[in-house]
Structure 1
Amino acid sequence: MGYRAPDRPRRAARGALSNDASRYDRFVSDAPLPDRIDTEVREEMVGRVIATNKSPDIGFDRSINPYRGCEHGCIYCFARPTHAWLGLSPGLDFETKLIARPNAAVALRRELGARSYVPKLIAIGTNTDPYQPIERDRRIMRDLLEVLRDHRHPVGITTKGTLVERDIDILTDMGPELCRVGLSVTTLDDRLARALEPRVPVPSRRLKAIERLAQAGVHVRVMVSPVIPGLTDHEVERILRSAADAGAVAASMIPLRLPLEVAPLFEEWLRAHVPDRARKVLNRVREYHGGKLYDAGFGDRMRGRGVHAELLRARFERACREAGLVRHLPPLRTDLFAVPGAQMSLF
């Protein structure tokens, strides 16, 4: 299969080149897109904010998403297909038509205060980033953290956003027994990062955020995710070493995942930005997933399989040992959980 430069224009600070209909749409529009697409934010009031899952290959069974869609615009984002559930495109709509949940903290406080509630780790940022640009004004993530702090509830945060530094006061109040932060670094090449992740702070700035969090006593995991074979996989050792030097104490890695609409969006991006590497990247991705661009099977979807996947894991494990980064941190505590204002029983 040959590759050609796409006939769709690149838009400044946007990841996707197109806005094609989702898998649920029966009708396709051929209307041209404007050269500039501004970010739109709608609000969604929620009755419950804690989402649960039964996936056996992830380390949590409950999570919170303050926002739907993500202005960061990472072209590889596995969450893009979730916008199809809203009748929106996983392409440009995902990064320009956002939904905020302004009453998320109120809903969370109500859920945590229920007599039947049993505390377990809550993960935030596992779908869309809680520290994307609109959080600066909306402050929904900060409100959520204040509730979790008040309840002494464990939380794991995943982000690329350096706005997490704003909340160091809350994170230090909670301490390493109740919170930790995973900060994603995909590449150390600022120019490549700008194309892959157009509205994310550059890698050097994210390393600085790791340093500031670590200096405040926050346990930070560097997340080398996703590793893009044939494009960023050669950087794994340098990313781990740089993160360890900045103060990270742990590390994780996930190879590129291209579910549903993400695959054609990523192919389109490759042809536009690195056409000379497109064939190699896609062929290597297929090797990771049994000949397909994606395999959703539990376990393999997070690891990949085959010779190159095994070599990548071996390199990662060795680099972690050499950098002094652990793979697994002790579990966060749930026995400190308390409902503010609740009276203890005398019997």
Structure 2
Amino acid sequence: MQSELLYKYPKTILNKGTGFLSGYSHSLNPYTGCAYGCSFCYVRQMPVSTFRDGEWGSWVDVKKGAAELLQKELTRAKKKGDPVTIFMSSSTDPYQPAEHKERITRSLLEVMIDNPPDFFFVQTRSPMAHRDIDLFLRLEDRIRVSMTIETDREDIRKHFTPDAPAIRGRLKTLQMLKEAGVPTQATIAPLLPSSREFPDIVKTHTDRVCIDDYFMGDGSGGRRTANLGIRSKYEELGLEKWYEPVTYEKLLNLFRRVFSDDQIFVSREGFMP
């Protein structure tokens, strides 16, 4: 799907961390909307999507002037004296295709190099994240880059997220980040059907994983996901057993074969500062 780019000039860029992200002082979204348009994305059920014309994934708002806003708001937040911790991004992918040209995310990172928050968490499913290794390294231990890897099976990825990047590229970027010395994790969220070798594959690319599913991670106990009709996508493949609240426990046990307990996190704890 080709997304229409719309240019907006927001009045603010930092949002108060609430709900699932209440452990952060702020969340940060360089864009509104997401070209990947994943079928299971809970943002489809939120006002940012439901009040817009066009299917989720068909449009992306580019936040012009984002760096200047961040400079002002970050300085203001730090003056209050409380820890400033930022999650990027809660409702978009900071490295979606528009970032190649617009470079909004990189401009925000450049602001943080000169005025660093206490902690900065980057969540993406895009191999483009390797472009900014130079800036990640300058944030040292104040940053973690989390790469979404829902499965190791390309047939499953194409069924659920046909417009998202291939798994191979994500794993390669995760390894590049790790080898460069950037703190990383693989986020298995939402967990999709995968092979028994999945944990072994992930282990060669990172030493930290977070496992999350629809029932823990969509902010509504799975109701938002149910409203999207995601169960039917499992039924099409005859894999309904993967769409159960207990499935994460089975996957967790598989990952425990190759990861130690202090390397595995479940749902919200894996995203916290």
Tell me the TM-score normalized by structure 1: 0.67
3-state SS of 1:99 partner: strand
Whose Rg is larger?
1
Query: 1:41, CA displacement in angstroms?
Result: 1.2
**Structure 2 Cα separation of the partners of residues 195 and 252 of structure 1:** 23
Partner of 1:241: 200
Distance 1:57 1:155 in 2: 13
Task: Indicate the structure with greater helix content.
Answer: 2
1:102 aligned onto 2:38: no
Question: SS of 1:323's equivalent?
Answer: coil
Are the counterparts in 1 of residues 199 and 258 from structure 2 also a CA contact under 8 Å?
no
C-alpha separation in 2, matches of 1:56 and 1:204: 29
> Are 2:133 and 1:168 aligned?
yes
C-alpha distance in 2 between matches for 1:69 and 1:259: 21
Cα RMSD for the two superposed structures: 2.8
Contact 1:83 1:94 in 2 (8 A): no
Name the SS of the counterpart of 1:76 in structure 2.
coil
Residues 161-240 of structure 1 correspond to what in structure 2 (within 5 A)?
Answer: 161-175=126-140, 177-228=141-192, 232=193, 234-235=194-195, 238-240=197-199
Q: List aligned pairs for 1:185-334, cutoff 5 A.
A: 185-228=149-192, 232=193, 234-235=194-195, 238-246=197-205, 248-256=206-214, 257=218, 259-260=223-224, 263-266=227-230, 270=233, 275-277=236-238, 280=240, 285=243, 288=245, 308-309=246-247, 312-313=248-249, 315-317=251-253, 319-320=255-256, 322-324=258-260, 326-327=263-264
Q: What is aligned with 1:78? A: 42
Q: Relative to 1, partners in 2 of residues 1:82 and 1:113: Cα closer, same or farther, differing over 3 Å?
A: same
Question: Matched residues in 2 for 1:109 and 1:319: separation?
Answer: 40
Aligned to 1:155: 120
- Name the aligned partner's letter for residue 140 of structure 1: I
Shift of 1:123: 0.5
Gaps of 5+ in 2: none
Identical aligned residues as a percent: 21
Q: For the Cα contact (< 8 Å) 1:121–1:155, is it kept in 2?
A: yes
Structure 1 residues 116 and 84: alpha-carbon distance in aligned structure 2, compared to 1, 3 A threshold: closer
Change (3 A) 1:60 1:320: farther
Residue identity in the other structure for 1:251? V
**CA distance in structure 2 between the aligned counterparts of 1:196 and 1:221, rounded to whole angstroms:** 22
Please list the CA deviations of residues 220-248 of structure 1 after superposition, one character each: whole Å capped at 9, or x if unmatched: 111011014xxx1x53x5333212212x1
- Counterpart of 1:70 in structure 2: which amino acid? C
Residues 1:85 and 1:315: Cα distance change in structure 2 (over 3 Å): closer
In 2 relative to 1, CA 215–151 (structure 1 residues): closer, same or farther, beyond 3 Å? same
Find the residue that maps to 2:212 and give its secondary structure.
strand
Report the CA distance shift for 1:87/1:118 in structure 2 as closer, same or farther (over 3 A): same
Counting matched residue pairs gives 259
Q: CA contact under 8 A between 1:222 and 1:250: conserved in structure 2?
A: yes
1:81-124 deviations in whole A, cap 9, x for unaligned? 235556225xx621011111121111110011223363322000
| Shift in Å, 1:174 | 1.2
Q: Distance in 2 between matches of 1:129 and 1:262?
A: 22
